[in-house]
Structure formats: C-alpha cells, structure tokens
Amino acid sequence: MTNELMVTFDHVSKVFPDGTRAVEDVNLQIDQGEFVVLIGPSGCGKTTSLKMINRLVDPSSGTIYFKGRDIAERDPVELRRQIGYVIQEVGLLPHLTIAQNIAIVPRLLKWDRARQLARVDELLRMVGMDPAVYRRRYPRELSGGQQQRVGVLRALAADPEIVLMDEPFGSLDPITRGQLQDEFKKLQAEFKKTIVFVTHDMDEALKLGDKIVVMRQGRVVQVGAPAELTGGGASEFVRHFIGQRRMGGDPAIIAIGEWLQNRAHLLARLPLVDIAAGARAACDELARAGAEFGLGVDRNGCWVALVAAAALTPTTAELAGALREDAPVVSVNDPLKAAAERLVAEDCPWVVVLDQGRRPLGVLGRSEVLMAFIETLWPDSGRGEVKEQ
C-alpha cells in the first residue's frame, strides 16, 4: 500500500490575475504515507502549490489528482474536509474552546457529540495535554507552542489521510519549534499520514522530510531524499540554498568529491611518477620530493599504480618491482563510505583519490576519512579541523 499515489501534479501552472506566474509546469508525485517538504525562497510558489491541493487556489492549467481523481471535479468543501490543514498563524478560533476548535471538522462532518468529545480527549492525550485541564480553555490562554499543538491536533481530528502544513512552526521560537518538530515526527511515525509541508527552513526540511522538493521561481528545481540533496546530487542553486554549513547527511551517499570541495587542503599531495619514463626517473623524482611513495601515472596522467620508494635504488632497472597495484583507490564520485571500506580492506593508512578522468588528486589519510564521517553524520558537532600537514 505504501506506494499508492496520494497526490499527483500533472503539468500544473498558476498565473494570478495580476500576471504573477506563481507556479510553472510543476509535476510531482506524492505517495501515500510520504512526508514531502516543499522548500524554496519566498515567492517560489511553494505555498501556492500547497493550496492547490485543497483547492484554496485553483490551477490555471494542468491537473491535480487526489487518490486518482481530478480534484477540479470535486466539491471543494467536501474535499477540504478530507484534508488536514495547518497554517503558520495557527488560526484557532478565539471564541471557541480548545475542545471546540479541535472538533471543528468532526462537527462539520456531523459526527455525533460523544464521538467528537472522545476524539478530542484522545488527541489531547496524544501530545501530553491533560484533557481535563485544556478542554475548556480558550486559545488565548495558551502559549504559542501549545496553540500550534492544538492546531496540529485540529488538522488530525477527522483522521484525514493527508495533512497540508504551511510553515506550521515558522513563528515559534527555536526551542519550541524543535520540540514541536520532534513531537510531530513521532506522531507521523505512528500514524503514517501523508504530509505535505511547506517551509523555507532547510534544517527543518532535512529533519522532517522523506522527500524534499526544492522550488525556485515557480518551478521544481530538484526532488530528492534529504541525503541526496546534502550529498553529491545537489544542483548549484540547491547547494547554495542548503548552505555549506548544512552539508550533513549519509556517508553512504555523499561523494568524496563533494565533501572535499572546501577541504582540498586535506588531500596529501604525493609526487606524480611517469611510469613510462622508467625506474631511474621515478627514483630521482621520489628522492627529490623526499617521498616514500609516488603516484604512478601513464602518459595521459591516468592512474596506474603506487610507486614505492623503498623498492627502488638508483640501479634498479625495472620499475615493475616497485609498483603496488593493489593500493587502495577511490574516485571522487565514490561515496565516503567507499574510502573507509578500502582503508579497512587494504589495511593501508591512506587511500588514493582519483578524479573523474582517473587522474590522481592526492591521498586521503585515515583521520581525514574519519573526520568526514563525523562531519556528515553529525553536522552540528564541533568543527574539529584536522590540522594541515
């Protein structure tokens, strides 16, 4: 059931009467149970896209399907009652109690009163708000965080399959925001609702989303799992938007080259040795550099093998004996994980990094690879820079 399509955008565009092209040719598929985050700078069309799902905005062209049915053919009122909706401003009705606010959609759906009340209590307990205390309070008596908790409960009240959230935690202070994000993630793990979540906060998107849809000027720029975006797959704009600071993610996905982008100094340079030039030239080259090893390349500068200085003397005739073809090698396109695996498998203190054309760039030591793991897995941990050697 997990792969059943919940919402599909098929070539959807929206031009407002004033000529603003808010959304342009968006194609998007949202699976059942998926947590999709729409993100982008303000004015990128993310909120408009969201509001088109519950028909608060109708597309100028294109079609949106909800569970396989074209929503343009559905009564917007009836459609909206099946879709939870949370907005940044919370929008609790100040003249209604917390219980009445939560029960609005059940009431619109004409549930009987006992069922409404039972549902209200159940939901309040779910987020640790004692029903006896909060049921009869008014929104104004609650803190901003509590109000949005209720706002989320209200969206879940009639047990909709999908919930739309428009920057729901945007106006909360950072601590409360973090709490609500954690709580909501837990709720989501439990109920597996389909969530479409709009934010401009990349940290929030990476934390909550299964799938992140990056938008810019009305278009979808990139769609991917958080790890894919923070990894090598990001486009220039996305990378800029994420910010280098946030290059956290999965070492099994993040490419070595990506991680090295601002850390080229961490690559230790070894002298390049032209294999074709013979043993004597190699020996001189290594002696001049004072290096134990050289990176053996062919005429085109492509990787051949490691050259060990220890196996070379000025009188060595054949270079072949000094070549170590089993030396650990990775490409910049390989994930960080590959570098670690090579290091372990070959029991070597470093791994040779090759560029896309298989030209060696340098070697990456064990401690650098370890640091790469720490930085990607725990991007917020102290920036312990390995000292340049």
Partner 1 sequence: MTVWVKFIKYVIEHYDKVLLYTEQHLYISMVALALGFAFCLPVGIWLTRHERYVPLVIGAANIAETIPSLALLGFLIFIFGIGNTNAIAALFLYALLPMLQNTYTGIKNVDRFLIEAGRGMGMTDWQILTMVELPLARPVIVAGVRVASVWTIGTATLAAAIGGGGLGRLIFAGLATIRDDIMLAGAVPAALLALLADWTFAAVEKWITPRGLRVRQYGSSRSKTKRKTEGAVKA
| In the complex, minimum distance from the CB of residue 89 to partner 1, in angstroms, rounded to a whole number | 4
Among 97, 116, 222, 230, binds partner 1 (CB under 8 A): 97
Stretch that binds partner 1, among 62-70, 96-104, 237-245, 320-328 (CB under 8 A): 96-104
What angle, rounded to 10 degrees, do the helices at 144-156 and 174-191 form? 20
Q: Which range, of 66-74, 80-88, 343-351, 370-378, touches partner 1 by CB under 8 A? A: 80-88
C-alpha–C-alpha distance, residues 330 and 23, integer Å: 42
Write the interaction track for partner 1 spanning residues 252-281; mark x where CB under 8 A is met and - where it is not.
------------------------------
| Residue selected from 56, 117, 308, 332 as contacting partner 1 according to rule CB under 8 A | 56
Q: Among 65, 138, 237, 373, which residue sits at the site for partner 1 (rule: CB under 8 A)?
A: 138
Q: Where are the alpha helices (DSSP H) in the chain?
A: 46-53, 76-80, 98-102, 104-108, 113-126, 131-134, 144-156, 174-191, 202-208, 226-230, 236-242, 256-260, 279-289, 336-346, 366-377
- Let me know how long the chain is: 389
Q: Taking CB under 8 A as the rule, does residue 57 contact partner 1?
A: no
CB of 137 to partner 1, least distance (A): 8
Locate 155 and state its tokens: 């969206």
Instruction: Give the x-and-dash track for 153-172 against partner 1 (CB under 8 A).
Output: -x---------x------x-
122 near partner 1, rule: CB under 8 A: no
Which residue of 16, 27, 58, 95 would you call a contact of partner 1, by CB under 8 A? 95
Q: In the set 5, 104, 225, 281, which binds partner 1 (CB under 8 A)?
A: 104
Q: How many angstroms from the chain centroid is the CA of residue 108?
A: 37
Taking the least distance from each CB to partner 1, the nearer of 11 and 95 is 95
Compute the distance between CA of residue 279 and CA of residue 152 in angstroms, rounded to an integer: 72
Q: Quick check: 77 binds partner 1 (CB under 8 A)?
A: yes
Residue 90 is a binding residue for partner 1 (CB under 8 A): yes
- Residue given tokens 């606010």 in the structure block: 101
Q: Are 354 and 233 in contact (CB under 8 A)?
A: no
Residue 12 or 142: the one with the smaller Cβ distance to partner 1 is 142
- Helix (H) and strand (E) counts for the chain? 15, 17
Position among 52, 71, 87, 238 found at the interface with partner 1 (CB under 8 A): 87
Which one, 146 or 376, has the nearer CB to partner 1? 146
Least distance (Å) between residue 34 CB and partner 1: 21
Instruction: Name the residue nearer to partner 1 (CB basis): 136 or 185.
Output: 136
CA 180 to chain centre: 19
How many whole angstroms separate alpha carbon 312 and alpha carbon 383? 41
Task: Note whether 149 binds partner 1 by CB under 8 A.
Answer: no
CB 56 within 8 Å of CB 4: no
Residues 6+ apart with CB under 8 A from 171: 88, 89, 144
Distances (CA, A) of 277 to 273, 284, 285: 8, 11, 11
Please tell me the count of residues contacting partner 1 according to CB under 8 A. 33
Residues that bind partner 1 (CB under 8 A): 54, 56, 77-82, 85, 87, 89-97, 104-105, 108, 138-144, 146, 154, 164, 171
